[in-house]
Each structure stands twice: as C-alpha cells, then as structure tokens.
Structure 1
Amino acid sequence: MQDAEDIQEIQPPPTPEVSKGKKVLQQHKKGKTIGTFFMPRATPGGQLSIKSVMQSKEAKEKVDLAVVKWMIDASIPFIAANSAYYQTMFDAAYSFGTGYKAPNFYDLCGYLLTKNVEQVKNFINSFRTTWKETGCTIMADGWTDQQRRTLINFLAYCPRGTIFLKSVDASDASKTAEMLYKLFREVVLFVGVQNVVHFITDNAANYVVAGRLLEREFPTLYWSPCAAHCLNLMLHDMGKLDEQSILVQKDALRAIVTSKEWTLSAYAKESKAKKIVDLVLDSIFWKECATIVQLTEPLVRVLRIVDSDERPAMGYLWDSQLHKNLHAAGYWLNPAYQYNSLDLEKHRHATSGLLDVIERYSYANPDLMSNLTGEMRLFHKAEGDFGRVSAIRDRDVMLLDE
C-alpha cells in the first residue's frame, strides 16, 4: 500500500467551460475582447483537492496560533479582536506580500504615532464642513474616576456623526460655575461660535449657571441639561427606597409561599419568613408596587429614548424641564406631531419657540426671515413637496435628521 504522499492526483480532461476560459484569455491577449483574467472558481476542473484544502487549513491554524500567542504574551485582551481595525491590519500585511517586517517599539511610539495623531486631527477637521452647513451640538459628559478626579469628555454631534473633541481634568474647574463657564467657552471657540447651536451639560447647579453664562455671551447658542442625566438622577433616588419593584413575580411568589414544599419546610417556621409570607399575601403591598411601576415605567421609557443611539431625542422630548425654544422648534418640525392635530393643539406655544429660533438665526435679515416663515406655512399645511404621497408615508417612519 502506497503512502499518501506518493499518491499522484490525476486531473480530469479540460471541460468545455475550462476550454472556453482559456480561449477568452487568448483573445484578451490579442485585443479581441475585454474578457477576464479570473476563471470561475466552482468549475469541476478548478476545484481544490482534499489535500490542498487540508494544507490550507493547517497553514491558517498556524497563523492563528501565532496571533493568539502574541496576544497572550503581550497581555492583550481577546476583545481587541472586535476592533474595526483588527482584520484591516492583516489585510494590509497580506497585500504587502512576503517579507513584511512589523514596526518595532521605537517606530510605534515615534513617527507612526505622530502620523496617526495627524490623521485623527485631519479626520476631526473634516467635520467642520458639516458643522458649517448644519451646526452641531456640543455634549459635556462629566464623570469621576477611581482617583476621585472630575473628568469631562467633550463630544460634538452633527448629522454626519459624533466625534470626540477632548477630555479635561476639571477637578478644580468644576468647583465654581465661573471656572466651568471659562472651560466651556474654550470648547465653543475651538469648534467655532458660528458652528455651535446647542450645548448640553449635566444638571448640577454650577453646570446650570455656567450654561446660562454661555447663552448670555453667545446669543446664537442654546444650553440645556442632559435629559438622560436628569432621569438617571431621578431613578437613582428612587432606587434608594426600600421598596423594589417585584410586581412581575407576584404570582410566582404567592405560589411559593402557599406551596406544600414551603409550608412543610423548616424555613416556614422562622419569624422572618412568616413576616415575608404575610407581606407577599398582602393585597395592599401589591397595590403599592403597582403604583411605583406606574411612576417609574414612563421615566425608564423616556430614558431609553434620550440615551439611545438609534435616533436623536430632539423633537421628541422638550416639555417641562427641557422646555427650551430649540426643543420646541424640534417638536414643531417633527412630522409625527405636526400633523397630529390633538397633540399639536396641546402644545400651541411651541410655535413661539420656533419663531424665536428663526429670529435668532436669521441675523436680522428680513428676507431670510420671510423665507423661513413661508416654509413654516408650507410645512404646516402640507403643501408643495410636503404633501407628496412619499412625504406623508414617511412622517412616522423616517428619522428627523433624515
């Protein structure tokens, strides 16, 4: 019996498809046709043999093992494989071909790092074109690290996307509203006063004062508290209450404490257990649980809206604490509400908020103001393109920024 290595693979005779492919290549070389340099991959004559498939699998596993050994040795977490640049790195190395030498430590922390920083800066600067066209919202996200330092991340949002601007150790600046205001002012000037429409911060008292100082200096800028932060604080306070919502487990809990297994167990005879049983069987207790759920459920639903990346919250939430003219304008311009007469009637004052925004951004230009108010009438009456079948169909479907 021959060894597997001595067995010779016998290729089948050329099929009509293979012969046709060769003819096409010959014609291409002669300039007779455009043709293609690639043969169909699944033709009978072009299929890989079992031996070559196994060799390819072994070769891939060898590379995979080399990658994982490097990650283990360098203490790189495996979650790094989820990076958008992970596969791109290997594709680039493969396209280079054999002989590629990876950059050393000095290259990585030297000119390559500098070049990457330049690319990031250029990428951020490319957003300025969109900022000039649509304006942007600056978000100040404050948090406290393990060293109890107050850090603030600044991000800029526009229809093109959200980008990180910078992170600041504001341990000292956050102590007074005046220092916070100076810090926020620097960020606004960096982005460009003419590009900033909205500035969002936490709802602490010193942040509120700093936001109002910004509005006073920059008339075209609106400040508002972060809706997600406000709701998180409310839910955090509710979470300190002794009563927790176990309403969904009502039937299951009652079934447990009335079951034969429970009544015959040693636990059922303990005084604490008896108190719990009385509570679980108390109808007043469950009514109070239902009341708590009724209070918190709408808050959680709103929190999911404002803390979601799926759609912008502007135009959906604006009443009460978020009652800013900019939010009112977003509400009025939302087709989902504009053509709901009952809902719009309850918030007729939203029109005044929109007019305030128009007056602020028309820069005392009467022609521009007239054009904008004219567009308001077309939109409100669903005339022109606003009355098209497609526009009517998409009122409740498309996102506002689309």
Structure 2
Amino acid sequence: MDKFCKISVEESVKRNQGTTLSEKVQSKLSSQQLEEKRNRACGYICQFFYEVGIPHNTVTLPSFACMLVAIGDYGKTLQGPSAYEMSGPFLQKRKKKMLDSFKNHKKAWEHTGCTLLGCKKNGKYIYELVDRCIEDIGPEKVVQVVTDNASVNTAAASLMKAKRPSIFWTGYAAHCIDLMLEDIGKLPVVEKTIVLARQVTVFLYAHTRVLALMRKTLGRDLVRAGVTRFATPYLNLKSLQDNKKDVLKLFRSEELNDMGYLKKDKGKKAQKVVQTDSFWKGVDIAVNFFEPMANVLRRVDSDVPAMGVFHGCMLDARKEICLRFDNDESRFKAVMDIIDKRWDNKLKTPLHLAGYFLNPYYYYPNKNAIENDGSFRAAVIHCITRMIQDKMLQEEIIDELNIYEEEAHSFGTDIATLQRRNKNFDPG
C-alpha cells in the first residue's frame, strides 16, 4: 500500500518541521551514533559550501530541506546529477515548472495589470528591453514600469512615453527613500553621531573576547544589517538606543576592564563616547529623524503592494517627525526640506495621488481636505483618461467614482465602514 500513499518531498519537509526530534527519529541507533552520523554528513555539506563559496544562509531555503529529504529517501546508492544533466534536462524541467507557476499570475494581469521593474545600463537599451517585455505581456496589461532614479532611466522613460503614453514610468520608492536617509545622514549632528557610534561598534567587534562578552551582556548582536545601504546606520543607532543600559553596564564591567582592551587607543575612544551625554542625545535626535522614514522604507520594500498606501505613509511619517520634536519647526526643518525635495520631485505622480484618494482608510477621515485640495481627484481623472481609451468605459468609471465619494451603495454598508479603519486592508 505504501506506493499508493507515498507523500511528496515537500509534504515530508512540512511534517518534519512540525514534529519533535524524538518523533522524527525512529531508529535502533543510539542518540550518540545518530549524532556522529549527522556530524559526518553536515561536515561534508559544509565542506561543499566552503569550497564553492555558497552563502551560508542559503540553508534556510525550502529547496535545501527538500534536497536533504529526497537524498535520504533514495538512500546511499544515489548518484548525483552530472554537469550535463544540471545544465540540460533538469534545467529545462525547472524552467518549465517555473513558467507553469506563472499561469495564475498571467490570468490575474487581465484584471489587475502588472508592474515591470527596470535595470541599469543605458537609456536606449533599457527602453528596448522594457518594450520587449511589454510586448510579451501585452501592453493592455501593463500599468507601470518602476526603476530607480538614474538619468539613464529618465531617458528611457521619455522614449517609452512617446511610444506608449498609457503606461506610467515611476521611480522606485525604496530607492528614493534610501536617498532621503543618505541626505539626512549628512546633516552635521547626525553625521557626527554616526561616526562616534561606529567607533563603539568597531571596538566591540574587533576582538573575539570582547564580542563574546558583549553578546553575553546584551543577549544579542548590536550591529544589524538594513534592507538598504543607508538604513543600516539608522538600525545600528536604534540598536544602541535600545541597549543603552546594557552597553553602559558592559563598559563599566570589571570583566571587560580586566581584558586590557580599554587601555588601548580604540578602547579609550569607545569608552569615552558611551560615557558622554551629548553622544546619547545625538543618538536620540538621529533616531527621531530616521525612524519614521525607515518605517516607510520597510513598508514599501515588502512584498505587499504599496501604491495605495505610500502617500499616506509619507504624510504620517512627516507628522510623526513633527510630534517627536514638539512641533518646533526649527529643530526639524532641515529634514523636512530633504524629504520634500525628493518626494515632490519623484514620488508625487498621478498614480501615487490616485492611490491615496482611492484608499478608504485615508480618504474618508480626510475627505474635506482631500476634496478641497483638488489635486487628488484630478490625479484619478488623469489616470483614467490615460489608461482607458474607451469613452463609454471612462464615463462608467467616473459614475462609480462619484458613488465612492458619496459613500453610496456598498461603500456605505456597515462592513465597508468597518474595513475603512483597517490600515492593512488592501483596497485593490
């Protein structure tokens, strides 16, 4: 009966993840023998990774777990794939499986449209590459092309607008926010704080014993990697702020003092930094500048579509910065100028404004301000007329837009009213 009830490798992995070690191992071998066998196997796996230079975190991929289960299922006599098989038959099978997985996405494009992400080279090359992709997908299914804000992409956008005026070409929001963080990091008070903080972290991570003691005292690492280059300084400052008490405790400890590193130049500088009140005040100021924007960056850099929430998130971030500095404009004006300069120039497109207007979470609580502004409704009309050429369909959409504004029909039901308050609700 086993051959009729055999589960797949993927199902086996899932079952193993939900069971304890004792449940996984049904063997006559002692636990010591099992541990020896595992260490031997892991040693060879690690040796392969080291020799080839494969990143160690790839062991977290589901396919790695599936591979281990499949090898164990076959047994000792398994012969691995040849170079020809990997570059030929198995590669083609994997390609077919990947293309088959796109079928549901392609069906969804009929209703939702899709976004193309661009790359860097030169304007003409990018334009031709993106144009071929649009042809493959179908121009009527593409809403926008998203690239970073390099000049070559601006040139490609001009070429695309001339040929396909209905398709938007917008800047990559995460890249733009990352540039804001870079500019904020260049403000004197922030730049000085980052330099001082780096002296502390460099000292702590330069010596194995000091690092081990730090991890023991804090219970975690102090340095954290950000999703982008310029988010990392913020995360490190935030980590220092969150662990201030333990960091001070570490530098006052006899154990660290007995190691002798605090008597050396780098140790003296690091100790002086953490014992200075002005440094910690600088950390607080920098975090208050960075954190609201870093939260926006985290939101737009996730897998959840951000077009409908981006403008609202930016407004919320500006308000939060104001509140953190008690609405004293003299304390945050330089940061606001940095944010507004890049935001106004790259990320206040008709699509962004329309997304804000059509998100009930933002629209209904701020209805009067949005309607009085006029630019948001104008952005919606611009998107409709640019993307839809059929005049009758345009009129139908405008009629539905009026129903939305008046909270009529289904927009006025109890369930719709309740969902407006859900910030994570996807209006699309």
TM-score range, shorter chain: 0.5 to 0.7
The match for 1:71 among 32, 36, 45 is: 45
Distance in 2 of aligned mates of 1:93 and 1:312: 38
* One-letter amino acid matched to 2:179: L
Distance in 1 of aligned mates of 2:281 and 2:26: 67
1:242 paired to 2:192: yes
Residue aligning to 2:130:
184
**1:396 is paired with a residue of what secondary structure?**
coil
Distance in 2 of aligned mates of 1:389 and 1:322: 34
| Map 1:91-110 → 2, pairs under 5 A | 101-105=78-82, 106-110=84-88
Residue aligning to 1:352:
378
* Structure 1: gaps spanning 5 or more residues: 1-51, 141-151, 153-169
What's the TM-score once normalised by structure 2's chain length? 0.58
Count, aligned residues: 310
Shift in alpha-carbon separation, 1:102–1:380, aligned structure 2, 3 A: farther
Shift in alpha-carbon separation, 1:401–1:112, aligned structure 2, 3 A: farther
Given that 1:93 and 1:100 are in contact with CA atoms closer than 8 Å, whether structure 2 keeps it comes out as no
The match for 2:412 among 381, 387, 393 is: 387
Higher share in strand: 1
**Offset at 1:208?**
2.0
Distance in 2 of aligned mates of 1:346 and 1:300: 30
Residue aligning to 2:402:
377
1:361 paired to 2:383: no
Distance in 1 of aligned mates of 2:241 and 2:64: 43
Given that 2:358 and 2:427 are in contact with CA atoms closer than 8 Å, whether structure 1 keeps it comes out as no
Q: What do you get for the CA RMSD once the two structures are aligned? A: 4.7
Given that 1:208 and 1:225 are in contact with CA atoms closer than 8 Å, whether structure 2 keeps it comes out as no
The match for 2:172 among 218, 222, 226 is: 226
What's the TM-score once normalised by structure 1's chain length? 0.62
Residue aligning to 2:334:
none
Given that 2:116 and 2:146 are in contact with CA atoms closer than 8 Å, whether structure 1 keeps it comes out as yes
The match for 1:306 among 289, 300, 304 is: 300
Distance in 2 of aligned mates of 1:287 and 1:79: 36
Given that 1:337 and 1:343 are in contact with CA atoms closer than 8 Å, whether structure 2 keeps it comes out as no
The match for 1:132 among 63, 85, 110 is: 110
Residue aligning to 1:212:
158
In the TM superposition, what whole-angstrom CA distance separates every residue of 1:354-377 from its partner, at most 9, and x where no partner exists? Answer: 1111122331x2321222111112
Shift in alpha-carbon separation, 1:91–1:361, aligned structure 2, 3 A: same
Shift in alpha-carbon separation, 1:242–1:212, aligned structure 2, 3 A: farther
Residue aligning to 2:100:
122
**1:308 is paired with a residue of what secondary structure?**
coil
**2:309 is paired with a residue of what secondary structure?**
coil
Distance in 2 of aligned mates of 1:56 and 1:380: 71
| Map 1:246-285 → 2, pairs under 5 A | 248=241, 280=276
Distance in 2 of aligned mates of 1:213 and 1:126: 31
**2:407 is paired with a residue of what secondary structure?**
coil
Distance in 2 of aligned mates of 1:191 and 1:107: 31
Q: Looking at CA atoms only, which structure, 1 or 2, has the larger radius of gyration?
A: 1
**1:242 is paired with a residue of what secondary structure?**
helix
Residue aligning to 1:22:
none
* One-letter amino acid matched to 1:313: A
**Offset at 1:229?**
0.6
Given that 2:310 and 2:356 are in contact with CA atoms closer than 8 Å, whether structure 1 keeps it comes out as yes
Given that 1:203 and 1:225 are in contact with CA atoms closer than 8 Å, whether structure 2 keeps it comes out as yes
**Offset at 1:228?**
1.1
* Structure 2: gaps spanning 5 or more residues: 1-24, 198-236, 255-261, 312-342
Greater relative CO, 1 or 2 (CA 8 Å, sep 6+) = 2
* One-letter amino acid matched to 2:361: A
Given that 2:147 and 2:171 are in contact with CA atoms closer than 8 Å, whether structure 1 keeps it comes out as yes
Distance in 2 of aligned mates of 1:216 and 1:182: 13
**1:85 is paired with a residue of what secondary structure?**
helix
Residue identity over aligned pairs, in percent, reads 25
